[in-house]
Amino acid sequence: MVTRIGSDVLLMNYVHVAHDSIIGDHCILANSTQIAGHCVLEEWVRAMGVVGVHQNCRIGTHAMLAAGSKVAQDVPPYAVVSGDRARLIGVHEELLKRRNFPPETVRELKNAYRTLFYSKLTREDAIKQVLAEQSDSAEVRQVVEFIANSKRGVVGRERG
């Protein structure tokens, strides 16, 4: 394998992208972001600075890693994560609005995230429910497929 950086990517000061990692198109990695080996950052990912990503992690399209986050598990598409051992904050609404996603798509993603991460259902049952209710949404299917195919596990939600 080889390290690949997509087009229209901004790597700010002191960013490190280790061996065999893939950075998708239109990503922004702010100062002192450290990407370990064998990571995949899909398109439109935002890492807000002093972020560490553990090896073999996958970061889904349009995800945002808040400043100072330490990412040890996969981050699903359209998510915002934050903290030491990054936890899910919610859907990255601002970027979706800036990229002209329809409001209905944003609502569908928020509903799917609510079921997948904040309900008391098992992950398997939550996936079934989301697919039963919102299988028409390509973005929701993308999130479900990402979660189902995760090898490291997916970040959890904040407790509280």
List active site positions.
Answer: 19
Query: Which contiguous run of DSSP H or E holds residue 109?
Result: helix 103-113
**Residue among 79, 13, 124 at smallest CA distance from 65:** 79
On whether the CB atoms of residues 11 and 31 are closer than 8 A, the answer is: no
H or E segment to which residue 46 belongs: strand 46-47
| Whether the Cβ atoms of residue 58 and residue 39 lie closer than 8 Å to each other | yes
